[in-house]
Amino acid sequence: MIDADAAARPAPALLPALGAMTWLQALVALALFAPGVVAPRAHIEVWQLSTFSSAVFAVGILASFWGGGIITRLGSLRVASLCAAAIVLSMALASLGSTAALLAAGLCLGLAFGPETPASTALLAKLVTNEQRAFVFSVRQTGNQIGAVLGSIALPAIALSLGPHWCYAAVGVSALVGILLFERLRPAYSGLTTAPAQLGMRARITLATADRRIAALALASMPFSAMQVSLNTCFVIFGTRELGLSHIEAGMALACAQAGGLAGRLGWGFAAMRLNASRMILIVIGLGMAFCAALLGAYGASLGPAGQFIAATLFGLTASGWNGVFLAEIARLAPQDRIGETTGAVLTASYAGLLIAPALVSVIDAVAGLGTAFVVLAVLAFCGTLALMRGDK
C-alpha cells in the first residue's frame, strides 16, 4: 500500500543536497591540507606529515569497505554529520602538535575521508537525471579544490598572526557549521539513500583487471594519485625550504595550484566531452603533470616568483584536475550494469597510490630533498602515462 502523503510529497531539491555534499568534501580537504599548510610555522617535518597522511588513507581505505551498510542504515546526511564530527576531533588532536597527536588526528580524519564520497554518490545519484549526472558530480568534486584554495589562502595568514592552534580551530568551527547544515537538511532527504554495492578486495582486483584498458587506468591512477597528494601535502614546505618563498607566498602558490585544479576538473571534462577523447586527454594530463613536477623539482629555485607561480598553476591544472576525466573514462569502459562497482574497484588502486606516496616522499626527502622527490614522482607519472598509451592498443 502506498502512503498517500509520501506520494504527494514533492521530490527533494537537488541544489541544497549538492551544496551540502560539496561543502562536506571541502571540509575533508581543508582538514587534510591543514597540517601541511601550517607546517613551516608549526615546525612540522615532512616525515610527520607523511605519518598523518598515511594514517588518513589507511583508515579511509578500510572505511570505504564498510561504509555502505552505515549509509543504508543512517542515510547520507547523517553520515555527513558523523564525518564532520570526525573532522572536529581530528583538528582538536592535531592542535596538540606532537607526532603521536598527528597520528591520532590522521586516524580520526580517515573516518571522514573514506565514507564521504560514497555518501555523496548515494544521495546525489537519486536526485539527478542521466543527462545531469556527469556535470553534477563534477561540480561536487570541486569541493576538494574549494577547501584547498580556502586553506591555502587563509590558514598561513592565521598561523602567522594568531598561531597554528587557531588554524585547526577554524577548520573545526567550519565542520561544526557543517553539522548544523547537514542535520537541518536531513529530514527532507530521509529514506532516499541507496548505498553502492560493496566488494571485497579479491572481487575488486578481479573487476579492475578483467579489461586491459581498465587495468591500465588502475595502474596509471596510482602515480597520478601519489602526485596529487604530494602536491597538496608538501608544496608549502617545498616552497619555503627549496624555492625561496615566504610562508604566505608558498600558501598563495599552492592556492594558485588548487585554482588550476578547479579549472582543470571542469575544463578537462568539457574538452573530453567535446572531443569525445577522454583517454587522449588523460594522456595529455599525465605528460603535463610529469613535466611540471620535474621542472619545479629540478629547476624551481631558478624560475623566480612569477615563474614559480605559473608553474604551480599548471601543476595543479594537471595533477589536481585529472579526476573527472578519469571517472568518465571508467564509466565509458565498464559494463553498463556494473559502473559503480568498477569505479570502486579502480579507486582501490588510487587509494594505494595515496597510501604509498607519503612514505615514499618522506624517504626521498630525508636522503635528497623534496625537489628530488618531485622528480621521482614525475618519472612515475610518466610511466603511468605510458601504461595508458599501451593499454589502449
Classified by CATH at the fold level, domain 202-393 comes out as Growth Hormone; Chain: A; (1.20.1250)
Report residue 371 as a C-alpha cell.
Answer: 625537489
Q: How far apart are CA 379 and CA 383, in angstroms?
A: 6
pLDDT digits (tens, 9 = 90+) for 79-91: 999 999 999 999 9
In contact, 83 and 115? CB cutoff 8 Å? yes
pLDDT band at 362 (very low <50, low <70, confident <90, very high): very high
**Backbone phi and psi for residue 241, each to the nearest 5 degrees, phi listed first:** -85, -40
**Chain center to CA of 248:** 23
Q: Please check the confidence at residue 48 and state whether its pLDDT lies above 70.
A: yes
Q: Do domains 11-198 and 202-393 have the same CATH topology?
A: yes
pLDDT at 371: 96
Residue 206 has pLDDT above 90, yes or no: no
pLDDT at 68: 62
Give 240's pLDDT tier (boundaries 50, 70, 90): very high
Most confident of 34-43, 177-186, 335-344: 177-186
pLDDT in tens, 340-358: 567 777 877 888 898 899 8
pTM of the model: 0.78
Mean pLDDT of the chain: 86
- Evaluate if residue 10 carries a pLDDT over 60: no
**Residue 338: pLDDT band by 50, 70, 90 thresholds?**
low
Asked whether residue 244 carries a pLDDT value surpassing 50, the answer given is yes
Band of pLDDT at residue 339, cut at 50, 70 and 90: low
Domain regions of the chain by residue span: 11-198, 202-393
- How far apart, in Å, are the Cα atoms of 185 and each of 76, 245, 389? 11, 43, 45
First to last CA, the chain: 54
Percentage of the residues of the chain whose pLDDT score is greater than 70? 89
User: What confidence tier does 2 reach under pLDDT thresholds 50, 70, 90?
Assistant: very low
Instruction: Tell whether domain 11-198 is in CATH 1.20.1250.20.
Output: yes
